[in-house]
């Protein structure tokens, strides 16, 4: 399969105008981001060569290399030996999720995090309800069954709770919703672990109620089940 190269003519000056102020590495990253936004670069395209970027942006090779390394860690770029640096078709699964660090630093008081989940979880769950395939529903049901079995064997932990929410997110079929939802749930993982120690049976009951609402395509029941569920994870987050 052939790989697309960078278009021969750039449509804006994001990768051709010299940089002047600020952290040079961050500015190089900003220019690459702007090139993606402006469609100068698309997933699958190769960046201009290191020499071209150095010359066009008026920066040193070390700054270009450091910017590329940072974008590699974020799962945006990949370096192919003997070919060049390419924009990934999709973010790398093992990429550093910078969003979670930003949310950790910006989350402020606990109430801010609670507000985020109260707003976002009902919305993505309704989206999952409307888009879920039979296979999606089977995966969600499987997480509930595994949770119930683990609870019966006293082997439950936060992994079983997280698996349920990840399965619901996957059922939306929207990569942006999935990414934001996964990040949000990471911030709740410690609270979920507390809930697993103190109220695991309540969590299982909540999951069953959400699953039933999804299977029945009952939007009101989805909202009611999540509203009920929020009582336990709000308590766990507040008092852990």
Task: List the structure tokens of 131.
Answer: 């888009």
Rg for the chain (alpha carbons), in Å? 22
pLDDT digits (tens, 9 = 90+) for 30-40: 999 999 888 88
Q: 10 Å Cβ neighbour count for 184?
A: 21
Q: Is the backbone of residue 10 left (phi > 0), alpha (psi -120 to 50) or beta?
A: beta
Domains of the chain: 1-96 (1.10.10.10), 98-239 (1.20.120.530)
| Position 240 pLDDT exceeds 60 | no
| Position 5 pLDDT exceeds 50 | no
| Rounded Cα–Cα distance for residues 87 and 40 (Å) | 12
| Position 190 pLDDT exceeds 80 | no
Q: 10 Å Cβ neighbour count for 119?
A: 9
* Residue 6: predicted pLDDT: 45
Name the β-bridge partners of 46.
86
pLDDT digits (tens, 9 = 90+) for 192-226: 887 788 888 999 999 999 999 999 999 999 999 99
Q: 10 Å Cβ neighbour count for 137?
A: 17
Q: Assess contact for 48 and 31: CB atoms under 8 A.
A: no
What's the angle, vertex CA 129, arms to CA 127 and CA 131, rounded to 5?
Answer: 70
Q: Assess contact for 232 and 195: CB atoms under 8 A.
A: yes
Provide mean pLDDT across the span 124-134.
98
* Residue 116: predicted pLDDT: 86
Confidence band, pLDDT 50/70/90 cuts, at residue 82: confident
Please give the mean pLDDT across all residues of the chain: 84
pTM over 0.75: no
């Amino acid at each position: 399969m052939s790989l697309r190269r960078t278009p021969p003519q750039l449509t804006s000056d994001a990768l051709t105008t010299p940089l002047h102020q600020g952290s040079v590495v961050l500015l190089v990253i900003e220019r690459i981001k702007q090139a993606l936004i402006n469609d100068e670069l698309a997933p699958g395209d190769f960046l201009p060569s290191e020499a071209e970027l150095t010359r066009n942006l008026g920066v040193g090779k070390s700054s270009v290399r450091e910017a590329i390394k940072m974008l590699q860690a974020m799962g945006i770029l990949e370096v192919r030996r003997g070919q060049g640096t390419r924009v990934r078709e999709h973010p790398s699964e093992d990429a550093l999720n910078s969003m979670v660090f930003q949310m950790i630093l910006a989350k402020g008081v606990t109430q801010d995090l609670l507000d985020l989940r109260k707003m976002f979880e009902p919305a993505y769950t309704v989206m999952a309800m409307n888009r879920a395939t039979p296979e999606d529903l089977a995966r969600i049901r499987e997480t509930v069954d595994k949770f119930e079995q683990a609870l019966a064997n006293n082997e439950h932990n936060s992994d079983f709770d997280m698996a349920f929410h990840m399965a619901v997110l996957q059922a939306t079929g929207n990569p942006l919703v999935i990414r934001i939802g996964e990040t949000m749930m990471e911030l709740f993982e410690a609270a979920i672990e507390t809930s697993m120690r103190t109220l695991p049976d309540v969590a299982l009951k909540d999951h069953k109620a959400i699953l039933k609402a999804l299977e029945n395509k009952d939007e009101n029941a989805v909202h009611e089940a999540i509203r009920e569920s929020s009582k336990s994870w709000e308590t766990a987050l507040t008092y852990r």
